[in-house]
Structure 1
Amino acid sequence: MKFTVIGGTGRIGSQVVAKLRAAGHEAVPAAPSTGVDMLSGAGLAGALEGADTVVNLANSPTFDAASLDFFRTSMGNLLAAGERAGVGHQVVLSIVGVDQVPALDYYRAKTLQEELLQQGPTPYSIVRATQFFEFMGDVLSWTADDKAVRLPATRLQPIAAADVVDGVVEVATGAPLRGIRNIAGPDVFALDELGRITLEAEGDGRTVVTDDSAGMFAAAGGDVLIAGPDAHLAPTHYRDWLRAQTR
């Protein structure tokens, strides 16, 4: 099979391309560096030529209200180009609970992306993943100073990026779901607890202060970011992953 991987040079995309190729498929990365502009549509026709499946891992350059325009325009261009090219399966990577956090511009933008895909002309699959292990450092930095990190007790079920790759490839190489698959890590943590675990593993002496108004995830209440009983659980535990990173 031939796959076009939009965002195929990024953290997840480059691994998806490599895994598809290792399985004997043709996988073409499409990104600005390969001459593909999702907003203008330039380069899309060539990138999608002969593709059986498109895996859309493109990300907005911002997380504010401008992300709505990015996903509206890029998704419209991709669906139209895919229909012209005869693509039979469009796959998008999204976020668990994305439609339940309307206070966040980026989550509203990703919800719009999902809706456009569902209303589009091509059979589709949506893979919703929880927060990546690899982003914990960024999350801590948003509300940190030299002495403390302020984090809400929002419940998360984080997942390793490598496990996300496996989940995306599994769905992309199968028949269109015409629906959503949730994937998540095996363990649930409160974000403030996750911060303490991370700092301790890294030998960072700062204190984690529980502050339910701090940072982006303060907008997510209850269990909206937990994958639920129907989720496909990945094998990698956060503490094991941390130990491997800090050796």
Structure 2
Amino acid sequence: MKIAVVGAGGFVGSRLVKKLRSEGHEVSAHDRSTGVDLLTGEGVPEALAGAEVVVNTIDAPSFDADAVPFFRTTTETLLRAADGAGTGNVVLLSIVGIDQVPDVEYYQAKLEQERLLKAGPVPYTIVRATQFMDFVEPIMSWTTSGDTVRLPTTRLQPVAVEDVVDTLAEAATTPPRNGTINIAGPDIFPLAELARLTLGAHPDGREVLIDENAGLFGQVPPDAIVAPPGARLGTTSYEQWLQGQHKA
């Protein structure tokens, strides 16, 4: 299949390009470094020309209210170009539970991105993933002061990026669902406990204190962003992932 990946230089996009190419697909990789700008529209029609499938893995440059116009503009640009190219499926990477978290601006921006895709002219598949295992440490850094990490007990179900990439690859190489696939890790943890597990595997002198109002996830209801019924579950546990990181 001829597949265009936008956001191909990113954390997920780069891995997806390698995965699809290893499976024998003709993959074109696009982002701003290749002259494709979804904000201005520069290079987008050319990038999507002839693509049977487009996968959108781009991320907004900020987590605040500016993410809303960013996702609105980039999604509208992408859909116009995909429609003009006769693309048969637009696959979008999104986030589990964003419709349950009205107080987080970034999640509402992603929800707007989904709404535009659903209302658009091109068949689609949305892949909603829980938080990546790799992001636990950055989440901890947001609320670190000195040797203390303050985090709420909001429940997370972290997933290995490889499991998400596999799901995106499947969505890109099968007929559009005009619906959503949810993918999550196999285990649920309070965020503060995830931090303690992380520091247990990679101690650095910090300790974890529970603060239900700390950081972005202090705005998230306790069970809003864990997998809904019927979600796919990855095979890599967080403890296994931590062991692999330690060996690396």
> What is the TM-score normalised by the length of structure 2?
0.98
Q: CA RMSD in A?
A: 0.8
Any idea what the Cα deviations from partners look like across 1:156-209, whole Å, max 9, x if unmatched? 000011111111111111111111110000000000000100011002232110
Any idea what the Cα deviations from partners look like across 1:202-231, whole Å, max 9, x if unmatched? 022321101000010111113111112210
Alignment of 1:40 onto 2:40: yes
Match of 2:26 in 1: 26
Alignment of 1:180 onto 2:176: no
Distance between the aligned counterparts of 1:189 and 1:146, measured in 2? 24
What is the correspondence of 1:1-247 to structure 2 with a 5 Å cutoff?
1-247=1-247
By how many angstroms is 1:246 displaced?
Answer: 1.2
Distance between the aligned counterparts of 1:108 and 1:52, measured in 2? 29
User: Aligned AA for 1:189?
Assistant: F
Any idea what the Cα deviations from partners look like across 1:13-71, whole Å, max 9, x if unmatched? 01111111111101111100110001011000111011000000011111111100100
Conserved 8 A contact 2:101-2:220: yes
Distance of aligned partners of 1:187 and 1:90 in 2 relative to their CA distance in 1, 3 Å threshold: same
Any idea what the Cα deviations from partners look like across 1:140-168, whole Å, max 9, x if unmatched? 00111222100000000000111111111
Aligned residues: 247
Distance between the aligned counterparts of 1:29 and 1:100, measured in 2? 33
Any idea what the Cα deviations from partners look like across 1:107-143, whole Å, max 9, x if unmatched? 0000000000000001100000000011111100011
Conserved 8 A contact 2:133-2:161: yes
Partner SS for 1:11: coil
User: Aligned AA for 1:105?
Assistant: E
Distance between the aligned counterparts of 1:198 and 1:123, measured in 2? 40
> What is the TM-score normalised by the length of structure 1?
0.98
Distance between the aligned counterparts of 1:222 and 1:200, measured in 2? 24
Distance between the aligned counterparts of 2:143 and 2:232, measured in 1? 31
| Identity within the alignment, % | 51
Partner SS for 1:62: coil
Distance between the aligned counterparts of 1:203 and 1:57, measured in 2? 33
Partner SS for 2:12: helix
- After TM superposition, where is structure 1 displaced by more than 6 Å over at least 4 residues in a row? none
Distance between the aligned counterparts of 2:215 and 2:222, measured in 1? 16
